[in-house]
Amino acid sequence: MRVLVVTAVAAERDAVCAALGPHDVVALPGGHGLHRTRRPVAAAPDALAVDVLAAGVGPAGAAAGTATALTAAALADEPYGLVVSAGIGGGFAPHAPLGSVVVAAQIVAADLGAETPDGFAPVTELGFGTVVHHPDPALVKAVAAAAGGLAGTVVTVSTATGTAARRAELAARHPGVLAEAMEGFGVAEAAAAHGVPVLEIRTVSNAVGPRDRAAWRIGEALAALTDAFRALPAALAPTSRRTS
């Protein structure tokens, strides 16, 4: 099975690549470089072939980069069997502490909608689109177990949370939310448009709420991301056999 992993920035891409071994860089339209792991010549039929793309920060850039990679793969008759949005993010304490791994059971666009006199209304209440994607529950469970992580809601925001009030609002609107990031929903939208399953994997670098840069643990979160992707091939092996 071929897997596309989409991160926001190069540091996240490199953390993923560190788990997957040597890779080559393949140019995509628009100037992106796709980091393609070198599949062994004698690889088993169910071996994973993984491409990693740093598509940019935010849901729009993530969607555009993901769509470009998916389209290029389809035109080359080498379609992907899975897209994974990956990177570091904020965790909702105490449920997702610093350094923990979160696998999205739901990928939610937390701020796609409108402000009303009664509060926030998601775009679905306005009669448009969608605000949530549901990755395959069995796959979420397998990946979370392999990575030693948690499964739960991950919200996508265009503006990172920086206050206790905003944190409380998100937690109230999305009971059980574990993490916040800025790209997952964009990746999921592109994957859905191409009919490709999606996952989101986040490692927690900071607590959602007031911004305290001194308390962030970006290095530890990137190391945890590498560890999570070292565990990914074993978790995906049954899926690879079904789709090869």
pLDDT in tens, 130-171: 999 999 999 999 999 999 999 999 999 999 999 999 999 999
pLDDT at 201 (0 to 100): 98
pLDDT at 42 (0 to 100): 45
pLDDT, tens digit, 9 for 90 and up, residues 67-83: 999 999 999 999 999 99
pTM score, whole prediction: 0.93
Strand boundaries in 55-209, DSSP class E: 82-91, 101-109, 113-116, 119-122, 132-133, 150-156, 177-181, 198-207
Q: Which residue has the higher pLDDT, 103 or 118?
A: 103
pLDDT at 239 (0 to 100): 58
Alpha-carbon distance 238 to 148, whole Å?
A: 18
pLDDT at 46 (0 to 100): 58
CA dihedral (113, 189, 37, 54) positive or negative: negative
Residue 99 has pLDDT above 90, yes or no: yes
pLDDT, tens digit, 9 for 90 and up, residues 172-226: 999 999 999 999 999 999 999 999 999 999 999 999 999 998 999 999 999 999 9
Q: Quick check: helix, strand or coil at residue 144? A: helix
Rounded (5°) CA angle 105-34-9: 60
pLDDT at 21 (0 to 100): 87
- Beta carbons within 10 angstroms of residue 176's beta carbon: 11
- Exposure letters 68-103 (e unless 16+ CB within 10 A, then b): bbbebbeeeeeebbbbbbbbbbbbbeebbebebbbb
* Rounded average pLDDT over 227-243: 77
